[in-house]
Amino acid sequence: MIRILTDSASDILPAEAAQLGVDVIPLNVTLEDGTVIRDGVDLTPSEYYEHMAGCKKLPTTSQPSPELFEKLYAEAAAAGDEVVGIFLSHELSGTYQCAKLAADLANVDNVLFVDSTNVCLGEGLLVRLAVHLRDEGKSAVQIAATLEHAKEHLHLVAAIDDLKYLRKGGRLPAAVAVAGGMLGIKPLITIKEGKVAMAGKARGLPGAYVALFKKIEELGGVNPRFPSLAGYTISTREVNPIRTYLVDNLGLPEPLVRQIGCVIGTHAGPGAFGLAFFDNGLVID
């Protein structure tokens, strides 16, 4: 048996994880009063955003304990199972290194590691692709190799309401955040070489959607042979224009729609929305 493992930055909540047959290790969020919550477990994203709105100090995020990985690896080894682990970019978190360290500590060799070089919606698409490949009967080695190929054609584009969250969390240089936040500009971000990068900017919310659509096309367009994933923080209304653009304007399949979770939402901030997709250059045999 092949187990698919990921971390909670993929924003796959427990109910969907059970449906997909995926194990999710939660990252941690520390609130301003010192309370530590497990991402996607102890609070729903909506509950968390409601709490965050009243915070004077931005919550902090941290990687999981190696012991959580060790336990899962040991259980898999005892059952004779292999594990394919898909984790958020090592440039943005120590989770990937923590997962690899745990395999050394557990003294197991049944785990294959994939650095998604992405996060959130993008990471979630890779996990869902891994599930599809597993259910098709592919081996662990084949799954990992295919994911390494697919991630070269994976894109995440998001509109951010306020870059201060990325700046405070250390995920974006202060000078870039200040420049992007001037004059009511809505910045676009993407993930480039595993890091958060500016992808453009627009004035006002309508302009942000137009800029996002243009960026999607610049990046190779949405490949209709694979799912795309639209994400929102506060309300599904945030992704309605994305759905309209993809389905009504371009004639593409309906995107999956999911709420962006606590860890990524801490850094992206309320009001963020975006789309993850594989471009038209991706071909999988």
Q: For residue 285, tell me if it sits in a domain.
A: no
Single-letter code of the amino acid located at 154:
L
Q: For residue 60, tell me if it sits in a domain.
A: yes
Q: Domain containing 166 — which CATH number?
A: 3.30.1180.10
Question: pTM higher than 0.85, yes or no?
Answer: yes
193 and 84 in a single domain? The answer is: no
* Local confidence band at 170 (pLDDT 50, 70, 90 cut-offs): low
124 and 181 in a single domain? The answer is: no
- Please, are residues 230 and 274 in contact by the beta-carbon 8 Å criterion? yes
Q: What digits encode the pLDDT tens for the residues 64-81?
A: 999 999 999 999 999 999
Q: What digits encode the pLDDT tens for the residues 43-64?
A: 999 999 988 888 888 899 999 9
Q: For residue 32, tell me if it sits in a domain.
A: yes
Q: Among 152, 183, 199, identify where a domain stops.
A: 152
167 and 213 in a single domain? The answer is: yes
135 and 189 in a single domain? The answer is: no
Domain total in the chain: 2
Average pLDDT over residues 161-168: 69
180 has a pLDDT exceeding 50: no
Question: What is the domain extent for residue 53?
Answer: 2-152
If 0-12 CB within 10 Å is exposed, 13-18 middle and 19+ buried, where does residue 233 land?
buried
54 and 78 in a single domain? The answer is: yes
211 has a pLDDT exceeding 70: yes
- The distance between the two most distant Cα atoms of the chain, rounded to a whole number of Å, is 58
Q: For residue 15, tell me if it sits in a domain.
A: yes
What is the DSSP code (8-state) at residue 245?
I
